[in-house]
Each structure stands twice: as C-alpha cells, then as structure tokens.
Amino acid sequence: MELADPGFYVPQRIDLLLGAQVFMKILLMEQQTRPGLYPVLQKTQLGWIVSGEFCNQDEKATSFPQHGFFTRQCNSINDQLQMFWELEEINTPAWSTEERECEEHFIANMSRNNQGHFVVKLPLKQELSTLMESAALRRLQRLDRRLSSDKQLHDEYHHFLDEYRKLGHMQPIPSTGQPTYFLPHHAVFKQDSTTTKTRVVFDASCKTSNNISLNDILRVGLVVQQDLCTIVLRFRNCEIAFIADINKMYRQVRIHLSNYDCQRILWLDSPADPIQEYQVNTVTNGTSSARYLATRCLQKLADDEQSNYSKGAISILKHDFYVDNCISGSSDLDSAVKLVSELQSLLTSGGFQLRKWASNSAQLLETIPREFQENQFSIEVNGNATVKVLGLRWQPAQDHLQLVSRITSSHQQFRPTNFTKRNVLATISSIFDPLGLLTPTVIRCKILMQRLWKQNLNWDDILPSNLQQDWELIYN
C-alpha cells in the first residue's frame, strides 16, 4: 500500500497546500475501515491517506487523553547563531548578472546638470505599473496620530521635511493619473548623531497590495568602494590623519524626471490641511539602490576630474571613502593641507560638501572654517575626547583608536539570576567588530555557546554556576 506521504514521520518543508475544492476531486472510491475507534484509510490520486480517530482498546474511550498539536519550526534564532558563527568568513564573490546590468544601466543613463550634480535613473528591473496600491495613506494617518501626541517629535519631523522642501529635494505635484508608487515614511532616532538626531526614513520595502515593493523591482548594485579594514589600516599609516563626511550625500544626487513617479510621498502640514502629494527628486535613503548610486557617483566624479586635481586627491576619493565617510591623511602637514583643500574643491565640483572635519593636527584644523569642523566630541577613556570613525572611536589628540562594545557597558545588567542562554546569545550578537579586533574575545564566546548547547538548556534556564563564572571571565 503506497501512502501519499511515505515519510510523513519526518519533518519537511511544505511544498503545496491544497484547498477543500481540490481535496474532494482527488478522492477515489476505495476505502478501508475496521470496527472500533480506528483511523480510516482513504485512497486518493496521490496515494493512500489516513485520517479519523484512534483509541487504545485497553482503556476507556472517555478516559483516553485527546490532544491536538500545531508545530512550526522557527529559524530566527538558528539563523542568528549561524550569522554569528560565519562572521569572520572571507568571501569575495564575482559580479552577478544583476550587478553587471546595474553597472551598465548607470553608465548608459548617468548625466550631470548645470550645477555639477549627478543625475541618475533608478535601475528598475520591472515597470512601475507592476506595483499596486501602497500603504502610504494608512501609514500617514497612523503617523499623524503619533505626532499629535508628541510635540517634540512633531516639531522635529516637520522641521526635517520643511528642510527637504526648502532645499528643493521634494516638491508638491498634482496627481497625474499615471502609475505611481507612494513611499511610506517614519522617524528614526540616532541619539549619538552630532547633527540631526531625528531623521525621516522612506520605506521603499513596504509591500503594495500585490505583495511587491519598490525595492523588489530595483537592482541593488555592487559595492564599488574598498572594504572597511583596508581603509582603516591605510589610515593608521598617516602621520597627519583627518576624517570628514559628505553633507547629505544621497540627497546631492538627483533622480531623472522619468523616475519621479517612483518616489512620491504623502504629507500634510496640519490635520486641517488636505493631504498633499510630493515627489522626491533625489536618491533616497531606504531604496535598495541608494548606496550604489551615490557611491558610484563619487567614483565617476574621480574619473571625470582626474585631469584637474592631483593624484593624491583623486586617490583619496576613489579609495579612502566608505559610503560618505572620508578617512585618510598624509605624511606631513604641508601635503595634508593641500589635500584637504583639493578634496573640498573636488567634491564641490560634483555638488557635494565635506563637513565635520577632525584631525590629529591642530595646525591642519586651523586651515578649515570652524563651521565645517566636528564640533561635538564624546568624552570616553581617561578624559580624552573621541569622535566616531566607521564603528570605532578615535582620539584625535592621542591618535588612538578604540572599540567601544555594548557588551562591556551592558555587562552590569546581567546579575546571576539573569544568566540564561537567551541573554548570553543576545549579548554576544550585539558585538559589532567590523575589523576583527575582538576576535580573541569572539572565539571565547563561540566556545561558550558550544558548551551551552551541549548542556541542553532551555532558552530561559539559569546557567550552571561554572558557566556563569566563565561568562564573567570573558570580560576580565
């Protein structure tokens, strides 16, 4: 007798769910039963299936326990642990077909306007008409209720979008009746930012009514800048070191007018006003292609201007930028002053502006206007002021790099009663070590996780005392 699922006792991925209308059509006439509380064997076009009731004849039916179960495999914790385990793996894949298509699309459709700003087209894989109704209106209504109950957030949110309008990065537009996509938006808070702590982020991953989002039909593009480790190691070779970042880098790259309908938003200045449609006409943070388009424009700027600037300035733009962060330097003060001046001019020619300059040389900083210098520092170790550098902390005065991990600052929260496998994994997963400087500690954490697994502990069981001691010794 061939069952429809011979391996029914082995958990497997569900390939297909059949509705009742299909189920009735695959049933055949043959059926096998026996007297008593036993299952029924029913023949179908897929094989025999078993259903019905069952009772042990040695016990009374009324006392036999009846249970129903629904099981589901949750991979989130397993995936999290797998990512943690593969953190140090080195992988340099070749360009994919989509990445090549994205590069070819950029080259074919990139231009520059009269002010020097780059104008690009979104690398769409499908037509905009593929998308259906967006959740932007519903999200705006929910946002409006939240802003009404939080005055500070209301003021900061409105200030952010008012700046968008004043800078010409978005503008009102009447409904055209053409296929459009409305970007929902929400607030993101970054308390350690020295400029804008509340930002408005546009959600291009929000699904439309047919379960497709704008990001689903956009090519992501390849990474065109060098890896973080290489940039930081080169930075450490500089006698005169400096850092800066590009002011609103994404928003300095314009979107071609043919893509304006891809980036509409809904907004109202007050609950009494009608909802107004706006078109966002710059590369937008939140779209999957934003990083590629903006960083690719920096590379193209270096290529376009290489005959007008020194090789040093061009090399810094091509090799010492990580997204919008410049982290570089020179061997002596004179060449560093020249490089800083050239970089400012070079970036300005493409519509970009460098700001938040910091350096280990006070003489170099004297050549930079005060308004373009980093004006807020954190006081970290031994009273020394630090500034953030690509996930690290840099002390310009001492020219020291520090790695500040949340694992050390949160350690005091883990009292003996809270030492569980769940808390250990959550704390280990919070380690952000892009350069691998904490590898010795990370390896010890991995060994500890292996020991926890061998103990067969549940997620919220208190760890044995010996494992608690090992957990504490990691930070000693």
Three-state helix/strand/coil letters over 387-425: EEECCEEEECCCCEEECCCHHHHCHHHCCHHHCEHHHHH
- 96 in helix, strand or coil? coil
For the chain, how are helix, strand and coil distributed in percent, rounded to 5?
Answer: 35, 20, 45
Taking the C-alpha atoms of residue 237 and residue 365, their distance in angstroms, rounded to an integer, is 19
Q: Give the per-residue pLDDT at 119.
A: 97
Taking the C-alpha atoms of residue 110 and residue 283, their distance in angstroms, rounded to an integer, is 13
Taking the C-alpha atoms of residue 431 and residue 426, their distance in angstroms, rounded to an integer, is 9
The DSSP output letter for 282 is: B
Q: Give the per-residue pLDDT at 163.
A: 92
Q: pLDDT digits over 433-453, tens only? A: 777 777 887 888 888 888 888
Q: Give the per-residue pLDDT at 169.
A: 94
Strand 111-112 with 47-52, pairing: unpaired
Q: What angle do CA 240, 241, 242 make, to 5 degrees?
A: 130
Taking the C-alpha atoms of residue 402 and residue 392, their distance in angstroms, rounded to an integer, is 6
The residues of the chain scoring below 70 in pLDDT are 54-93, 176, 191-196, 376-383, 404-418, 474-476
Q: pLDDT digits over 205-250, tens only? A: 998 888 899 999 999 999 999 988 889 989 989 999 999 999 999 9
Q: Count Cβ atoms below 10 Å from residue 39 Cβ, excluding itself.
A: 14
Interior/surface letters 461-473, b for 16+ CB within 10 angstroms, e for the rest: eebeeebeebbee
Q: Give the per-residue pLDDT at 2.
A: 81
E strand or H helix at 364: helix 362-365
Token pair of 18 as six digits: 């059949």
Q: C-alpha distances in angstroms, 277 versus 201, 264, 379?
A: 17, 7, 44
Q: Count Cβ atoms below 10 Å from residue 93 Cβ, excluding itself.
A: 7
The DSSP output letter for 218 is: B
Taking the model in full, what pTM does it have?
Answer: 0.72
